[in-house]
Structure 1
Amino acid sequence: MHRMLKETPPLAIDDQVEAGRLEALDRFDVMDTPREEAFDRITRLIKNIFELPIAIVSMIDGHRQWYKAYEGLENREVARDATFCKYTLHDMTPLIVPDARDDARFAQNPMVTAGPRIRFYAGAPLRTHDGHNIGTVCAIGFEPRAFTARESAILSDLAGLAMDALELRQQASLDSLTGALSRRAFKEQAAQAIALAQRHRHGLACIAFDLDHFKSINDRHGHATGDKVLVAVAEACRAQLRGSDLFGRLGGEEFALVLPHTDRAHMSGVAEKVREAIEQIAIRNGQTRVPVTSSFGMAALDARTSDIDALLANADAALYEAKAAGRNRCVAWLQVNDMPASPRRRVLKAGRILFNNRMSSIDCTVRTLGEDGAGLDISSSIGVPETFSLAIRSDALEARCRIVSQTERRIEVEFC
C-alpha cells in the first residue's frame, strides 16, 4: 500500500478509457525509441501525396505528444494540452480542420496565433485491434485548404500502415543499428534468466544506462555522427561482457544489461568497467573529437524485486540519481539500513502534479511506481515545487510527494 494516500472521487468513465489507452500504448514499448525507416516512409508519403509541409506519426502519453517520425519540424514532442492531435483520441474517423482560425478549439492555440501559424490540420487516429487510440498520423499546412473524403480515406490507410509497422516492430529481436537485443527480446530473455536465478538461488543484477547529453551530440554533430556513437557504445559494452550477459537497447540512447550470477557486491565493478570503456570512445566529426559519457543505475534481484520490470524500474530510479548528481557515474538502487527500498514497477499512467493549494497543476506521465515513491516524466521540471501532491486518477489515488532528484524532464519523488 502507498503511504499517506487518500482516495479521490469515484473513477469517471473517461479516466477508465484513458487508463486502458495508456496500457495499450505501453504494450508497444515505442515511446522514446529511435527513428525507423518504416515510419519515416509514411511521413514522406504524407508530404508527397497531400503536398503539405508537415507530416507526423505520433504517440500520446499522459503529458505529451511524441513524434516517432516527422517531416518539417525541429522539435520531437509537444505538450499534450497544446496539440491538435489530442482531439483524435476520442474519435474513430479523421479530424479535419480546414482553417484553425475558424475553429473555436484551436483559434487561440499558440501554434495558430504565433509560430508556426498552423492553418490546416488533418489527423487520423492510430487505433489498436482492441479499440484504443494511442496516437495519430497527421498532415499540417500553413494555408487553409479543403480535404476530400478520398483524401481522408488515404490518410486513414496510412494510419493503418503505421499500426502494421508497430505490430511488426514488436516481433523484431535485434536492434538494426547496434545489434543489441530489442526491448521486447531483452525483456523476454531477462525473464528467463530471472526464473533460472530464482530456481537455482544464484545472484542476478540489472544495469540501466544512457548517454549523457546525447541530444546535443545529434544537434551539434548531426544524426550520422550520433549513430556512430551508438554503434561504438554497443561495441565497447559488448567487449566488457560475458557470453551469458544480456545487452539490450531500450530506447534512443537508453541501454540495459542483465548479469546472471552477479550479486549486488559485484555489479558495481561491471558497471564501472563499462562506464570507463564508453568514456574512452574516440569518435570524431572532422577534426572535432566528440566526447561520450554515460550514467548508470544498478539494481539486484532480491525477495522484494523479483521480475524484470521491477528490476528495470529500480535501476531507472538509480540512473536518474546518477544524472541528478552530475552524470558520468554509477549509482545503486537505494538501500536503507541494509534493507532494500520498496521495489518499483514500470508503468505508463497519466498523472497530475498539484500545488499552490490545488490552484496550479502540471500534467505528467508516471513511469515507475512503488509503495514509497514514483518516477515522473514531465515537459519541464522548471517551476515544480519541492513538495506537491501527485494525483493518479486511473488508480483513484493521491499522494503527497517530496522531490528527491530531478533532471530537465524527469522527477523522482518519495511519498511523505
Structure 2
Amino acid sequence: MHRRRGASGDARLEAFSTEEQSLTAERRTPACGTEGAHALGRSCEDLRLAALARYDVMDTPGEEAFDRIVRLTQKVFRTSMVTISLIDGHRQWFKARHGVGPQETARGPALCSSTIEQGSPLIVTDARRDPRFAQNPFVTGEPHIRFYAGAPLVTPDGQMLGTLCVMDQAQRAFTDDEREILVDLARIVIDELELRLLADADALTGALSRRAFRAEAQKAIDQAAHAERPLSLIVIDLDHFKRVNDTYGHDRGDAALIGSVLACAAQFAGRERIGRLGGEEFAVLLPDVGTDRALSVAERIREAIRGETYAFREGTFRVTASLGVTSAPADGACDIDMLLRSADMALYQAKAAGRNRCVVAASPIGRGAGLRRVLKRGSLVLGAGRESVPCTVRAVSAGRVRLDVLGAAELPTRFDLVMDGEDPAPCRVVTRSERGLEAAFE
C-alpha cells in the first residue's frame, strides 16, 4: 500500500501496519529475491534493515575480534584501507577500519552500498576508468579510492548487512583466489556478529552490553507498567572524549571509560543497571525512581565522574560528562526505544547548553506512544527540491515520524519526506537529537 499526498493519518498508519506485524517474523525470513519478502508485504531493503537492527551493532564500541579481522585482512592483501562496513538506510558505519579516518559516511556514494545492491562480491580494479565510479566523490576526492574489492556480509538467513572491503589509492588486479579469501574472511565477520548476540557484558568496562541492557530495560519497563511503579533512565556521554584519546592515548581513554563506569556504579547498589550503549555513551536504568530523584542521582553521577583523576606520563587529567534524564509515563505506555530517544533529546540539550550538566527531558514521553516501529530507507527533500538528504525512518504514527539522519542539528525546520518512491509528505521538526529528528506531518 502506498500513501499519497493528502492521505489521512489513519491511511498512513494502515500503510505501515504490515511493517509492524512482520518485524516479529524476521529471524528466519528468506533472503531478498525470494517469495518471503512479498509474502510479508515488505521490500528487500526493509527486510535487510530489520536484520541489521536485530544484530544491534550500529554505533557500538570497538571490539578486538573485529579489529583483529581487519588487521589480518590488511596483512593478507597489503592494501592501504580495510573496513568492516555496515549499511544503514542513510549511511555506512565502520565497525572496524584501517587507513580510513571517519567512523561513518553517507551511504549514497559508498562503494560498499553498491556491493550489497549487486548481491555478490564487487571488484573494481581501477575506479577512475570504471564508468560506474569514475565521478564518485570517494574516487575523485578523499580517500581517493582507485582499487576496491568488497565481499557482502551475509547472515545465515540471507540478508546482507554490509561488507568487508579492501581499498587502495593505486590500481591493482585481484585474482579468483583472493576473491575467495575475502569471502571467507567476510564469513568470519558474520560468525563474530552471531557470537556477540550471546554476550551480556561489555568486554572493556564490565557494564552490560547494549543488547543485554536493552533486554533487561524492556523487562523492567513492562514490570513497572504492570505494577504501576515509576521508572527512570539516564543516558551519560563523556564530554569531548575524542580529544581525550587524541591527547592522552587510547589506553588512557580506556582507563577513563572504566573509571567512569565504576564511579557511576558506586552511587547505588540495588536493581539499577548500567549498560554501555556506544563508544563513550552509557545508560543507567532506575526502577522505582521518579523524575526528581533520578535528576538527583544524575547529579551525583556527574560529580563522581568529574571527581576521578587519571594519570598519564606528564601528569593527570579529568573528564566530565553530560547527562539526559527521562521517566516512563504514568500510564506505562512506552518501550525502551522511546525512553532512550527521550533521554537522548535531553542529552542533546545538555551538550548544546555547554556540557558537564544534567538535563531532564522537557516533553512528556507519552506524546510519542502512538508511534509504530518501521524500518525504511527514505530521504528529506530540502529547498524546493534542490537538495535531497538520505535518512532511515524508524517509527511512524498518524501525525508523526521519527528518523535518523546525518547532520540532524543543521537541517531546516521544514522539509518533505519521501519513502519508497511515494509522494513527498511535508513535515515540521518537533524535536532533535545529535543523530535524529522527530517531526510532525503537516
TM-score by length of 1: 0.88
Per the TM alignment, residue 120 of structure 1 is displaced from its structure 2 partner at its CA by 0.9
Report the Cα distance in structure 2 between the residues aligned to 1:64 and 1:206, rounded to whole angstroms: 28
Aligned residue in 1 for 2:3: none
Per the TM alignment, residue 392 of structure 1 is displaced from its structure 2 partner at its CA by 3.8
| Aligned AA (1:65) | Q
1:5-404 pair list within 5 angstroms: 16-285=43-312, 286-287=314-315, 289-303=317-331, 305-335=333-363, 340-343=366-369, 349-366=376-393, 373=400, 376-381=403-408, 384-393=411-420, 398-402=425-429, 404=431
Per the TM alignment, residue 395 of structure 1 is displaced from its structure 2 partner at its CA by 9.3
- Partners of 1:378 and 1:410 within 8 A in 2: yes
Distance 1:77 1:166, change over 3 A: same
Report the Cα distance in structure 2 between the residues aligned to 1:125 and 1:229, rounded to whole angstroms: 36
Q: Secondary structure at the match of 1:235?
A: helix
| Aligned AA (1:48) | K
- Partners of 2:409 and 2:432 within 8 A in 1: no
Instruction: Note the residue ranges of structure 1 that are not aligned, 5 or more in a row.
Output: none
Report the Cα distance in structure 2 between the residues aligned to 1:396 and 1:189, rounded to whole angstroms: 40
Per the TM alignment, residue 161 of structure 1 is displaced from its structure 2 partner at its CA by 0.2
- Partners of 2:230 and 2:327 within 8 A in 1: no
Report the Cα distance in structure 2 between the residues aligned to 1:199 and 1:381, rounded to whole angstroms: 36
Report the Cα distance in structure 1 between the residues aligned to 2:265 and 2:373, rounded to whole angstroms: 26
Per the TM alignment, residue 367 of structure 1 is displaced from its structure 2 partner at its CA by 5.1
Shifted more, 313-322 versus 88-97: the winner is 313-322
- Partners of 2:409 and 2:433 within 8 A in 1: no
Shifted more, 83-92 versus 283-292: the winner is 283-292
- Partners of 1:317 and 1:412 within 8 A in 2: no
Distance 1:139 1:383, change over 3 A: same
Q: Secondary structure at the match of 1:135?
A: strand
TM-score by length of 2: 0.84
Q: Deviations over 1:360-406 (max 9, x none)?
A: 21112345666665554433347522222233449988351125445
Higher relative CO (Cα under 8 Å, sequence separation at least 6) belongs to 1
Q: Secondary structure at the match of 1:104?
A: coil
Report the Cα distance in structure 1 between the residues aligned to 2:358 and 2:185, rounded to whole angstroms: 44
Q: Secondary structure at the match of 2:392?
A: strand
Report the Cα distance in structure 1 between the residues aligned to 2:228 and 2:324, rounded to whole angstroms: 26
RMSD between aligned alpha carbons?
Answer: 3.0
| Aligned AA (1:292) | T
Shifted more, 395-404 versus 227-236: the winner is 395-404
Instruction: Note the residue ranges of structure 2 that are not aligned, 5 or more in a row.
Output: 1-6, 17-36
Distance 1:355 1:157, change over 3 A: same
Report the Cα distance in structure 1 between the residues aligned to 2:266 and 2:396, rounded to whole angstroms: 34
Report the Cα distance in structure 1 between the residues aligned to 2:291 and 2:90, rounded to whole angstroms: 35
Shifted more, 90-99 versus 188-197: the winner is 188-197
Distance 1:327 1:141, change over 3 A: same
Per the TM alignment, residue 180 of structure 1 is displaced from its structure 2 partner at its CA by 0.4
- Partners of 1:178 and 1:234 within 8 A in 2: yes
Aligned residue in 1 for 2:24: none
Report the Cα distance in structure 1 between the residues aligned to 2:206 and 2:280, rounded to whole angstroms: 14
Identity of aligned residues (%): 44
